[in-house]
Structure formats: structure tokens, C-alpha cells
Structure 1
Amino acid sequence: MALLKGKFSEIPSDAVILSEDDAVRYQTKVLKDWKKKSDVWAFNHGSTILASVSAISGIYINNYYRLKFRLAHYGQIATYLPVCIIPAAMSFVLHSTFVLPSVVLQKDCAVCIEMRASAIQAGMGSVFPAVLAPIAASSLALRYNTYQVPYLVKEPMKVFQLWKKQTKPISNILFAIFVGQALLGSLVTYLEAKSIERVNDKLTLLGYELERQDELM
């Protein structure tokens, strides 16, 4: 049975009316159980792809600042966890929570949903790591005395100048990562919507064929 949205006056008498939560669960189950996996790969793997790309960006940014602050093997977990793992997990959760349900229910405009997905992915895949990585790296550098880092409370301007100095060499790369993450978030959301549309079209066509068979019988 295809999931369709409509007014109460337009709903057939034999239709099953679902709440929004039930509709999301139903459509998700249909897509997960769909036999032709090529039809639904974007829906089934979109969130995982976004999380993976966020993790890759986080690893790159984290490694850059660790190298700049000469951390070597010091505090690897202390930087990789907040800069790589957490943004990846948040990218997965936020996309699954605030984007996919809207794609399933089609209750918002397509552009609005894609913009939301872009903002989430750009934030988790570039902004979040770019902010946390220098903070984590400089804190560890101060703790292990691997790089001369001024105290933020006493010399905030020197801290800013240090951040500017260390970040300037990859500023263009960071901007490219930001744009790339935003575009990827939009693209994945578009493909997820196409997966749902493709499955609904096939289910609707199947429903019409079954109705015709019943009429002929």
C-alpha cells in the first residue's frame, strides 16, 4: 500500500488513516523491506554516508591542528572523540530526526527540507570540527608543553592571533569543506526523496493493477 497525503474529503472510504508518527514508521518499514535495494539505497544509507563524510572531515581537520601544535601521540582520544566521532554521530542523528521524517511526510517544501539538511551537514561536518579542533589541540599543547600557547584569560588577543596564524593556511580548504558538506547534505536529501517517490509510484501502480483484476473477476 502506497503512503499518500491528502485532505479528509479526498480520502477513499477504504483507506487506512495514519498519524504522522505511524506514517513515518510505516514508510520506513516499507523502504527497509523493499526487495529491490537499488530503488532505496539512498534512503537506507543516506544518513550513514553523511556521518561518514563528517567523520572524514573531522579527521582531516583534527590531524592538521594536532600537527600544528606538535601533539604527536598526546591526547589522541581527547581530540578525536569531540572532533571526529561526536560530529559524525550528531550528523547521523540530526539528519534522521529532523530531515528524514519531513521527506517521508512531504509536509514541508522540498527546498526547505534540503536547506535544513545542508545546514545540519555543514554545521556537523565542517563548522563543529573547525571550532573544536583548535580548542582541543591548543589545550593539550598547553597541558603537555608541546607548543607555546598564551592563556586565554590573560591574553585573549594573542590567542586569537595564534588561531588566525594556524588556520590561515587551510582557510580555503575549510571553506571548500563547508560548501562540499552543504551540497552533499542537499544531494543526499534529494536522492532520499526520489527513493520514496519511486517506491510510492510502484506501490500505487500495483494498487491500480490489483483493482483492475478485482473488477475483471
Structure 2
Amino acid sequence: MALMKGSQIPKDAVVLNEIEATGYIWDVISKWDSLKETWALRYGPMVLGAINSISGIMINRHYRWRFKLGSYGHFSSGIPLVVMPGLLTIAFHKHIIGTDMLLMKSDLCPICYEVKSTALQMSLGLLYPMILAPTSALMLANRYSTYRVPHLFEGPKVMLGFLKKHTKSFTGTLSYIALIQMAASAFITYFEMKNTLSLRHKMLEMEKEYEKEKQK
């Protein structure tokens, strides 16, 4: 059955709400015979999630090393900075980008999808860890006395200057992380669009063949 969106509903059509249509189309993709025609939709979000998890590891490791944390709070900082960015990237990319394409929920252009995907990727893989990692490291360093950190009453200017000092040597790595995230999200989103168009074309062809068989 080809999935269509429109006001003119054929007599023998099965009407689905958005949740049902979403479940149906992803079920079709998971069972599609040709991996070549669906690989980006199937595995693209997981690739992007893995990239953001690796970004989280690198950012977390930098601040933990700077503040001499050793094994202190390793697990408690690893979950929100490594596991969560990966899982959230998979979930949000699949819903906001993939499902939107497949269900034709909006009339975005290909470049708009790539920009949207890049913004999502960098928000979860760069902005989120860069807020949480230094905050977590500062709290742990203060708690376990592994490094002298400014107190909150010294003011935000002192705190920001302290973090800037400890981030300066990492800016080159952050630039590479950002470039990789931008390139990966654009690459995956481009092939998701190609997969979507190919899938839609094949489903329409199958629907036409089915209609011809019924008329015989």
C-alpha cells in the first residue's frame, strides 16, 4: 500500500492518523528488501547518534583531565554526556527529520532539511555537552578537592574566565568536532532524502501494478 497525503481520498483507501501512518511507514522501511534503497533511513540516525556520543566522550574527557578528576564521578558524568546525546540524537533525528520527510509533513527544501539536521546535531552533540561537561567537572572538582575552582560568590565573570582558560587549548578539537558533525548530518540527510524519493517512487509503482492485476 502506497502512503499518500491529500484531500481527495480514493474509495478503497485506508485512512490513517499521523501516529498510525508513522508506525506504518517505518515498518515498511524496516522490512524493505533492498538495503541500498533504505540504508540512510534505517541506519543514518544511529550513525549520527554514535558521532554525538563520541563528541560527548571527548568533551567530557577534556574537562575531567583538566580538573584532575581521575575516576571520581566517572559513571555519573558519563551517562548524561555520552549516552544521552547519542540516544536523543537518534530519537529526535528520526522523528523531526526522517518522519517529516516520509510523511511530507512540511514543504521544506532539501537544503532546509540539511540545515535543520545540522542544527539538531550540533545542539545535542556540541552545545549540550559544552554546557554540561564543564559544569559537571567543576562540581566534582569542588566536591572531591581535586582542583581549586572559583566559588560561585566570586561572580560569573570570574567563573567564565576560569572556564575560558581551561577551554582555550581545546578550541581546535572543538572546531574539528563541529566540522565532522556538520558534514555527517548533511551527508546522512541528503541520502535520507534520496531514499525517501526512491521509496515513494517504488511504492507508487507497486500500487500501479496491484491496480492492473485487480483489473484483469
CA distance in structure 1 between the partners assigned to 2:129 and 2:62 by the alignment: 11
User: What's the counterpart of residue 58 of structure 2?
Assistant: 60
User: What's the counterpart of residue 96 of structure 2?
Assistant: 98
Amino acid at match of 1:39: E
CA displacement 1:135-190 (0-9 Å, x = unmatched): 11121111111111111222433221211111111213213322432332233223
CA distance in structure 2 between the partners assigned to 1:148 and 1:155 by the alignment: 16
Alpha-carbon deviation of 1:213?
A: 4.4
Contact kept, 8 Å, 1:78 with 1:136, in 2: the verdict is no
* Number of residue pairs matched by the alignment: 214
Alpha-carbon deviation of 1:114?
A: 2.9
User: What's the counterpart of residue 12 of structure 2?
Assistant: 14
CA displacement 1:41-89 (0-9 Å, x = unmatched): 2111122111111100000111111111111111101221222112222
Amino acid at match of 2:80: P
SS at match of 2:38: helix
User: What's the counterpart of residue 117 of structure 1?
Assistant: 117
Q: Cα RMSD over matched residues?
A: 2.0
Contact kept, 8 Å, 1:102 with 1:113, in 2: the verdict is no
Contact kept, 8 Å, 1:54 with 1:124, in 2: the verdict is yes
CA distance in structure 2 between the partners assigned to 1:161 and 1:83 by the alignment: 23
Contact kept, 8 Å, 1:39 with 1:198, in 2: the verdict is yes
User: What's the counterpart of residue 159 of structure 1?
Assistant: 159
SS at match of 1:99: helix
User: What's the counterpart of residue 24 of structure 1?
Assistant: 22
Contact kept, 8 Å, 1:91 with 1:124, in 2: the verdict is yes
Contact kept, 8 Å, 1:127 with 1:178, in 2: the verdict is no
Greater shift in the superposed pair: 144-153 or 202-211: 202-211
SS at match of 2:15: coil
Query: After TM superposition, where is structure 1 displaced by more than 6 Å over at least 4 residues in a row?
Result: none
CA distance in structure 2 between the partners assigned to 1:124 and 1:74 by the alignment: 25
Alpha-carbon deviation of 1:214?
A: 4.7
CA displacement 1:91-127 (0-9 Å, x = unmatched): 1222233222211111221333332222111110111
The structure-2 alpha-carbon separation of the partners of 1:90 and 1:153, relative to structure 1 and needing over 3 Å to count, comes to farther
CA displacement 1:9-60 (0-9 Å, x = unmatched): xx44433333222222211111111122232121111221111111000001
CA distance in structure 2 between the partners assigned to 1:146 and 1:50 by the alignment: 34
Amino acid at match of 1:70: K
- 5+ residue gaps, structure 1, are none
Alpha-carbon deviation of 1:200?
A: 2.0
CA distance in structure 2 between the partners assigned to 1:63 and 1:128 by the alignment: 15
The structure-2 alpha-carbon separation of the partners of 1:155 and 1:34, relative to structure 1 and needing over 3 Å to count, comes to same
- 5+ residue gaps, structure 2, are none
Equivalent of 1:80, from 78, 85, 93?
A: 78
Contact kept, 8 Å, 1:62 with 1:83, in 2: the verdict is yes
CA distance in structure 2 between the partners assigned to 1:168 and 1:92 by the alignment: 30
Identity %: 33
Amino acid at match of 1:48: M
Greater shift in the superposed pair: 30-39 or 50-59: 30-39
